[in-house]
Chain A
Amino acid sequence: MKKNEIFHDGVSLTYGDTLTTNKETYSSTFDDLDRALPDGGWPRVGITEILIPTINANALRLLLPALAEISNKRWVVLVSPPYTPFSLAWRQAGADVSKILVVDLPESDSSNRTNILWAYEQALRFDDCGAALFWGDEMSTVELRKLYLAAEMGDTWGIVFRSIKFANYSSPASLRIRLDALPPSKCHFTPDNLSSTKLKGTIIKGSSYSIGQQFLLEI
């Protein structure tokens, strides 16, 4: 981060990046992640795109504390999740499971894709929805832009999980994070303590100072 400069004649130069923002955020509870994120936490409104190498990349664990906090005040909607969410795990994380709604269509075909996108847009526009999560894949910029507008309309935090192959595509999402799962080290493999995986995250879109910020987490 750049430092402000004060010149000899009393003129000071303030870099925009250093200005404190009044944006409210949700703490991720991971210090490294909070430091890397713009405004020191997850945004409360807008679309956050999380680019993951595979469906199972421990991405949801990063969000779980914030989602648990949200569920105690507003609704959390999961659209087209890869598996069935387990209520006990959510409760363990402190979530109010009675405020978690799941939208899942049995088989994915072309008509269901439209329906799923529509359902996600509805969730984003829902005024009492704090966060809406969506596991999508190929989405056009126009579709993402519409979702972004819907999220702004509903004051909702939209989280879209997409494949890492879309990292180089342009996107109207206000925050984009790329996650890479690091290969497990041998010391993790002890039967007494099966350690979780290590994740390396890179912010590829956000406010100017946060772009390129990296964080390493063990979940």
Chain B
Amino acid sequence: MYPKELEKFLLKVQKPGRYTGGELNSIVKDKSKVDIRYAFCFPDTYEIGMSHLGMKILYSLVNAREDAWCERVFAPDVDMEQVMRENGIPLYALESGDAIKNFDLIGFTMQYELSYTNVLNMLDLAGLPVRSKDRTSLTPIVIAGGACVCNAEPMAEFFDITLPGDGEEVTNELIDLLKEYKAKGATKQEFLVAAAQIKGVYVPSLYEVEYNEDNTVKSITPTCGAPAKVEKRNVADLDKMFAPSEFVVPFLEVVHDRTTVEIFRGCIRGCRFCQAGFLNRPLRSKSPRIVEQQCRAICESTGYDEISLCSLSTSDYRGLETLIKNMLPWTIDEKINIALPSLRADNFPKELMEKLNAVRRSGLTFAPEAGTQRLRDVINKNITEEEVLTTAAQAFAGGWTAVKLYFMIGLPTETEEDIQGIANLAQAVVDEFYKNPDKPKGKGVNVSVSLASLVPKPFTPFQWEPQDKPDVLIEKQDYLISCVKTRKVSVSRHVPWTSFLEGVFARGDRRLADVIETAWRKGCKMDGWSEHLKKDAWEESFAENGIDPFFYTARRREYDEILPWDHMDYGVTKKFLINENKKAHKGETTACCREKCAGCGANKLNGGACDEIGKTVV
């Protein structure tokens, strides 16, 4: 429930339903009966945040405890922020309407580097100092999790704690500890020192970073007994892991508004550009029976008519056929559609596709990522042109007329020929459509090519690679567009400057804190939205702080350079990543984990276990 003083402004802002709370299944508790109040913040708008599975899991998990109350907080849109600032309304939590300033824990989920300024803006809207050192009392403790915290260094001055890895177990442990330290009246420093002893907890302020004259990192030194290497948390058994049986059902339309259930964590593929594929190792699967139970429970409590089976590569799920076969009878009966995001072109059985279309038909998307076989080998995206075309032909035979293809530019070793290859592959898909004798009468084909730019990320084999500068990316985009000779292929491209900024933060260090704060003070926020991105303000902020952003993006790093995130341990060894990087430059592929274990090392996090080791194909 929103604060009372907001009432007279609610009809003056766009989509007020984002700010009222009161959605079905949102949880309201008696605040006098809980010890810990937790504000779970998503540093983007309601529509984006309400689509995020991690938030739903942790919301339910914390609220399952009697002693804690977790509430949702999103970044207000520009019009609402203005109303709040003009009328002195601080950032509040949706369930209670209470100012989050007085909460015990403020947690941010960091999925995207370009939401960093939103974190500062939300802390400021809450009435809190943005820097960790200026928040001197024990509470609120500001924590962060999510993919971006694998390199939390650019945000190290702002967060008190980050939680690399799976959040399910460590969240509870941290709440227990905070409850204990709050009860005994401890100081913030005492709490942080103790928290650093929990596995999977990183306290940035307990590490001293020294730099060389060339601005590279000289040393990272733990203090106060903090571990030299912070090992990410890993949930060993997904079947036993907490999973929600209810989702908060938004009133207004959000990006993903459906039942979403994870089927496995990790990925067997080893695409060399893909951070998620390396951060989430080792592979851990949920049994089909558990997945089905969870899907059913959520559909019943929400009334959703769509289920998304979520993972990094859904067709690699061993139990997929069993699961779909078991689910089809009741989903068809209840008019529920099953969506399978992240399907791969090479192992997508035709029969399965037909069955899935029994209720409603969804779009068809492939991600060849690169235009030539040579470059696909470099990035270890092991699909062939033939596989893409065969699957496209099957899809066209099944009545599809639109196909979406995802590609990346700016990949290591890329040449003009590789970019030309993207246009060729799109054209080949178009040709495949016209080869189909049963193609629908009077309908054309639409192949849309979505063109992203590579942002080399930590913990991938490309973490040492230079990133193409924005002007180079624009040239490459223009070249591709000049190669497309048909109106049946449409190309949508990303803003290269956005990828550039993302690249700076992805592989940045602590010296970027001043840049982020300067840019935010100049009005930068919602940087991921092209209409809000203030390029000039960012360029001024880099200059004013004497930071050359290309130091972080355009430089090839040596294998022996100390990387700003070297004190984080995601299981995958540096040796493995170096080997993969070398193989990439030789155009050599690495077999997927199911064919042959590549020895990435992540199974050590799971006591040596990995769902792909010692298993035969079902």
A binds B: no
B binding-site residues for A, Cβ under 8 Å? none
A binding-site residues for B, Cβ under 8 Å? none
